[in-house]
Structure 1
Amino acid sequence: MSPTGNPRRRIRLALAAAAVVFTGALGAVAVPEAALAQGCGAGTPNATVTGSSGAYTTKDGGTTVYSGSDYRAAVQAGVDTIASGERVAVMASGNIGASTITIQSGKTFEGCGTITVANRSGRGAIEAINTTNVNIAYLKMAGNPYFGLRFSGTNGLKLGDIDLTLSGGLGIRFDRDAAWNYNVTMNDVYVSGAGSHAVETWNIDGFNITKVTARNVGESGLLIQNSRNGWVGTVDGDNVATGTGYATFRMANTNGKTASGGYATNIWVDNVISRGGGRGIFCVSQSGGVVIKNVDLANNGNNAVLIENCYNVSIRGGTVNGGGEVRLAARTEFANNKDIWITMTVNNTSVRESPCGENTNWTISGNASVNVC
């Protein structure tokens, strides 16, 4: 396919044409023009992995640190040989099977070839656990992992241009029952074919997520849980969560609850785009503290929007066309919805509030039938 025929390629070419500044919860992050233009493996990496099936070579500068047929061993040798502050570029494609590549603190990993993976129960094909300043600048992954990437206890983690073209499994996972993560940055994450979530986070304080694109994913596109102080640019889902209660964008399990226990606004989302699949947006289980600036939801197979037991949630504009109803609901085990503001154009579906929440504010235009308190 020509570069102009691939939308992700067009984005990269456009970014390469000028310096870009991303602004979010972690402040302004300048991305130099030269870095964008160079691409994966450019310049002089400290270590490289080259070769093809059955014959891989890992070099640290001019020194060969691995030569053989084991692709995973070649890649891990490249990671292990570099020091903090250095970079390894995996130029070769290969298959690591049901195993794990571990990245240590301070190291930059560039997966330029396609890393094919298999299911290792409870583990990630690539992991960074209890680390500081790990940077996975580029990655192309294929296969059916348990988790494609798995993290916990990180500080300063950066994910750059991540392409997970999977045939099952879960894309990116931040563990639930593990140490918190701080100052997480994701640039451009693309996940297709995951049987579970594209991106599932737990326990992050401080995150900037520029874009998550989910295609033909079994559960959520971006699922944020028990996290706070973040910014999301765009969540874009097509055929996400079909036949399930999940959503293109889902907030759950006290997401947005501040360290002091309240729900002051601390999460901002610029755009949520959803086509077909299951729900478009779902806030549930005592989550909130969020402003969603714009929505573009069409033909969702479940609720276009469902807000259930959430607090201080604002959707400030955008459109819903067809699909399941826009709904405010509540379960009895949690406190009812409180401080909800919804401003949208809704066509060809319904808007309903049941039971009545506390301080709910509706501004609905379009041809929707509206039954609110």
Structure 2
Amino acid sequence: MVHLSLLATLVATVSLVQAQCGSGTPAAKVTGSGSSFTATKGSTNVYTGSDYRAAIQAALDSISSGQRVSVIASGSIGANTITISSGKIFEGCGTINVGNKSGRGAIESLNTQGVQIPYLTMTGNPYFGLRFYGTKDLVLGKITMNLSGGLGIRFDRDNPGSTNVKMDTISVTGAGSHAVETWNIDGLTITSVIAKNVGESGLLLQKTTNAKVGLVDGNNVGAGTGYATFRMANNNGQLASGAYTTNVFIDKVVSRGGGRGVFCVSQSGGVEIKAIDLASNGNNAILIENCYGVKINGGTVSGGGEVRISARTEFPNTKDISITATVNDNTVRESPCADNSTWKISGNAKLSIC
């Protein structure tokens, strides 16, 4: 029932973004190129000039909740920030090139409700490409980031949390940090996160509960680091009651090369991963460390770093772990022993388990 419910939710999410970018009659548009841009609301001109960011912000500021802005033009906003307020729909149909503004997102929506970004193509080296906190009913559609550094999508740690966040397909290449990093979300649905040549994690979930993710796919993610294609940390999946009842559901994790494949750490858990496909990871293919209530229900591990259950002494011991997988040309190790661990391992891996 969980996966049927996930499918229905994902279909609903995709339906919000299936129309072509800029189609129909948006309330406002940004057109132009080079050093000449025009923002119009209906037949009214709200900006003309050389500042691409100013044109976009003028278009956004001109519309009301429930209305849509389509940015048809491509250009660069420099080391600046575009702000989206409640209820507004923002489509980036052109390519938005961005710079690095310390501690800020190139595009932000903070303490808002009902914001939608159905389409976005971003290039550049942002501090954060997209930055959020305190959002309710946020919808991100088809987001493509071809970056030369920075972090893709960030939900803040030290600001109000978010509820009911939906994402369709998030594709991030070239980020120096994480492709997608969440903090403090209750209710998260993602169709897929596709990360390539990313410096840290593909999808990093922290203090996030009631999450449903279709696919996490990483290629050369977190090379030379302890990060992973899919990482859970900092009490992720721990419910308000303190329990680790399963509430984070991942259909599939695919990882090639890079650092770790799957990594759960620092009192996280309450997660079920339906299938894995991990190969040639440069660090642990799987590492479960001080986590509770973790299920991996099947799939394959080929070569790479070992599959391991471990624990540090500063947290309660790892507990209630179940891993089913075919593991070849690798080692499966449990040290120290977890409380209530279940292994169902096939393949030629060397086993050193409790």
- Equivalent of residue 337 in structure 2, options 334, 356, 359: 356
Q: In structure 2, the residue corresponding to 1:73 is in which secondary structure?
A: helix
Rounded Cα–Cα distance in structure 2 between residues aligned with 1:251 and 1:114: 31
Q: Is the contact between residue 30 and residue 56 of structure 2 (CA under 8 Å) also seen in structure 1?
A: yes
Instruction: Name the counterpart of 1:173.
Output: 154
Q: In structure 2, the residue corresponding to 1:72 is in which secondary structure?
A: helix
Call closer, same or farther: CA 1:34–1:132 in 2, change over 3 Å: closer
Instruction: Name the counterpart of 2:80.
Output: 99
Q: In structure 2, the residue corresponding to 1:227 is in which secondary structure?
A: strand
- State the AA in 2 paired with 1:245: G
- Equivalent of residue 313 in structure 1, options 290, 294, 319: 294
Q: Which runs of 5+ in 1 are unaligned?
A: 1-20
Q: Is the contact between residue 178 and residue 202 of structure 2 (CA under 8 Å) also seen in structure 1?
A: yes
- Equivalent of residue 320 in structure 2, options 334, 339, 353: 339
Q: Is the contact between residue 13 and residue 168 of structure 2 (CA under 8 Å) also seen in structure 1?
A: no
Tell me how far 1:33 sits from its aligned partner: 6.9
- State the AA in 2 paired with 1:203: N
- How do 1:79-98 residues align onto structure 2 when only pairs under 5 Å count? 79-98=60-79
Q: Is the contact between residue 144 and residue 169 of structure 1 (CA under 8 Å) also seen in structure 2?
A: yes
Rounded Cα–Cα distance in structure 2 between residues aligned with 1:30 and 1:170: 28
Tell me how far 1:39 sits from its aligned partner: 1.0
Rounded Cα–Cα distance in structure 2 between residues aligned with 1:131 and 1:93: 26
CA-atom RMSD in angstroms? 1.5
Task: Give the TM-score of the pair, scaled to structure 1.
Answer: 0.92
- Equivalent of residue 63 in structure 1, options 44, 56, 60: 44
Matched, 1:241 2:222: yes
Tell me how far 1:30 sits from its aligned partner: 2.8
Tell me how far 1:104 sits from its aligned partner: 0.3
Q: In structure 1, the residue corresponding to 2:290 is in which secondary structure?
A: strand
- Equivalent of residue 124 in structure 2, options 128, 137, 143: 143
Tell me how far 1:24 sits from its aligned partner: 2.3
Equivalenced residues, count: 352
Rounded Cα–Cα distance in structure 2 between residues aligned with 1:126 and 1:328: 39
Structure 1 residue ranges (4+ consecutive) displaced by more than 4 angstroms after TM superposition: 25-29, 31-35
Instruction: Name the counterpart of 1:298.
Output: 279
Q: Is the contact between residue 25 and residue 230 of structure 1 (CA under 8 Å) also seen in structure 2?
A: no
Q: Is the contact between residue 23 and residue 29 of structure 1 (CA under 8 Å) also seen in structure 2?
A: no
Rounded Cα–Cα distance in structure 2 between residues aligned with 1:118 and 1:296: 35
Tell me how far 1:189 sits from its aligned partner: 0.2
- State the AA in 1 paired with 2:35: G
Rounded Cα–Cα distance in structure 2 between residues aligned with 1:174 and 1:93: 26
Instruction: Name the counterpart of 1:18.
Output: none
Tell me how far 1:28 sits from its aligned partner: 6.2
Instruction: Name the counterpart of 1:14.
Output: none
Instruction: Name the counterpart of 2:109.
Output: 128
Call closer, same or farther: CA 1:191–1:23 in 2, change over 3 Å: farther
- Equivalent of residue 284 in structure 1, options 265, 279, 283: 265
Tell me how far 1:53 sits from its aligned partner: 1.3
Rounded Cα–Cα distance in structure 1 between residues aligned with 2:7 and 2:315: 29
Rounded Cα–Cα distance in structure 1 between residues aligned with 2:147 and 2:17: 28
Instruction: Name the counterpart of 1:75.
Output: 56
- State the AA in 2 paired with 1:207: L
- State the AA in 2 paired with 1:44: T
Tell me how far 1:259 sits from its aligned partner: 1.3
- State the AA in 1 paired with 2:12: A
Q: Is the contact between residue 305 and residue 330 of structure 2 (CA under 8 Å) also seen in structure 1?
A: yes
Instruction: Name the counterpart of 1:30.
Output: 12
Instruction: Name the counterpart of 1:224.
Output: 205
Q: In structure 2, the residue corresponding to 1:286 is in which secondary structure?
A: coil
Rounded Cα–Cα distance in structure 2 between residues aligned with 1:49 and 1:70: 11
- State the AA in 2 paired with 1:331: R
Q: Is the contact between residue 108 and residue 136 of structure 1 (CA under 8 Å) also seen in structure 2?
A: yes
Q: In structure 2, the residue corresponding to 1:30 is in which secondary structure?
A: helix
Over residues 260-281 of structure 1, what are the superposed CA-to-partner deviations in whole Å (9 max), with x where a residue is unaligned? 1110011100000000000000
Rounded Cα–Cα distance in structure 2 between residues aligned with 1:32 and 1:290: 24
Q: Is the contact between residue 22 and residue 30 of structure 1 (CA under 8 Å) also seen in structure 2?
A: no
Give the share of equivalent positions with the same residue, in percent: 65
Q: Is the contact between residue 13 and residue 166 of structure 2 (CA under 8 Å) also seen in structure 1?
A: no
Q: Which runs of 5+ in 2 are unaligned?
A: none
Tell me how far 1:57 sits from its aligned partner: 0.5
Rounded Cα–Cα distance in structure 2 between residues aligned with 1:26 and 1:77: 37
Q: In structure 1, the residue corresponding to 2:59 is in which secondary structure?
A: helix
